[in-house]
Structure 1
């Protein structure tokens, strides 16, 4: 089954999904299999995307108009698609720079592997710059550290998801962009807050 996802950046009505909708329907996506969000791509909370990913089953293909409609950034995009691949779900991009990506084909998987390699290269550069910056700061008598990956918004989503028996931890971690270790440090298997989770919400003022 083909399932489509659409997104526009503003929820005030100044942007519409008509072009994306028409393209997805023309590509074979049924009108009742379309999900959408009206929010910035940088936001963690995208209920339309969450519902879309939950609806996908093995053998399905997620269809998007452009790559930037799906991922917040390259790292997030790679994590989402790797999570889909692990579930036997394909991804097809209709237009834009990622139009050659169709992970149901050999050529499409090769193209996505290139994007994944770029994401890994980007991560290595960030780590290298961070380590150099920390070394320079220490040399000047300042200490620094890695910022928390878990946010208050992600924590609340994790709490809700962890209490549901159908939740798959690997998929949840991929959606939230955190490691399994980070997740369990903040939330117990049934959704109860752990000390790190309590401290995080306390810092955010709940």
Structure 2
């Protein structure tokens, strides 16, 4: 006799955020958690959850925007899970999608709500850009502060000139290789 599992998936946008309010008080057999931005396509816990769930299982997700980057991604993920005969429930929206039944109203609601969430994220990004532009015009916004000081940048330059591997140097300074390249480009006189 097979037992169906109640599997949860939660995502927070950064490592500093807490996922406790998502799926709080809901009994789960297994929980998968990602700490990644919604725009990030690299969501290893979600992929692991999709591989984990089986025919008859229920995947509970706090809300649609926690699962998908955009409407197209949302529809694809739900279709993929329903094809495995996994029921997907979005707790906040109170919507359930089951591969056994074609629910045109549910699919319409999912498409509309996913589209609204995508639109809202786009508006937030637009307002953020506008706010930064206004702050720049007022001379208030200076951009992100440099991760490294002048001495550290000079040390990077010396190590690169001496033939050091850029990936290892970036790791030693706790920066990405792209940041290292940006420092090298900016210090060229």
TM superposition score category, shorter chain reference: 0.5 to 0.7
Structure 1 residues 109 and 27: alpha-carbon distance in aligned structure 2, compared to 1, 3 A threshold: farther
Partner of 1:57: 54
Partner of 2:79: 82
Listed as ranges, the gaps of 5+ residues in structure 1 are 122-206
* Aligned residue pair count: 111
Structure 1 runs of 4+ with >6 Å offset: 105-108
Tell me whether 1:41 sits opposite 2:41 in the alignment. no
Tell me whether 1:28 sits opposite 2:22 in the alignment. no
Partner of 1:102: 96
Partner of 1:196: none
Structure 1 residues 62 and 108: alpha-carbon distance in aligned structure 2, compared to 1, 3 A threshold: farther
Tell me whether 1:66 sits opposite 2:68 in the alignment. no
* Partner SS state of residue 27, structure 2: coil
CA distance in 1, matches of 2:112, 2:12: 26
CA distance in 2, matches of 1:108, 1:27: 26
* 1:117 shift after superposition: 5.6
Listed as ranges, the gaps of 5+ residues in structure 2 are 116-189
Tell me whether 1:8 sits opposite 2:32 in the alignment. no
> TM-score normalised to the size of structure 1?
0.48
CA distance in 2, matches of 1:21, 1:7: 11
CA distance in 1, matches of 2:60, 2:110: 19
Q: Which has the larger radius of gyration?
A: 2
Say what the alpha-carbon RMSD is for the aligned residues: 2.8
